[in-house]
Amino acid sequence: MSEVRIICDENGLTFYSNKDGNGFKPVHNIAPSTLEQMSLADLEYSISFNCVADLLELQALFQDYFWSNDGTTPPLLNKDESRLPKS
């Protein structure tokens, strides 16, 4: 069974997972500079989805919906926006 833990400290918000069974390892970090730019809705969405994505190993698939780790690039897509071409 996989677990995700979240630690918030001077390094920002770090997600840890034990999905490989070898103890908890960092799998995603949201830097303090990124956290400062996020709305509360962005933060809530990011926390909930990162937990699910880490457990299901979907992080790379949905990366366009998140801020970059260094906080320089906002999400390319709105959370309700499809990646499919618009017709």
Burial of 10 (0-12, 13-18, 19+ CB in 10 A): exposed
* Domain extents in the chain: 4-65
pLDDT by residue (tens digit) across 2-31? 788 899 999 999 988 887 778 898 888 888
Strand 25-30: give its sheet, edge to edge. Answer: 4-9, 12-17, 25-30
Q: How much is the pLDDT for 37?
A: 87
> pTM for this one?
0.63
Q: What is the CA radius of gyration of the chain?
A: 13
The token duo for 66 is 């998140």
Q: Could you tell me which of 56, 54, 18, 12 has the C-alpha nearest to residue 35?
A: 12
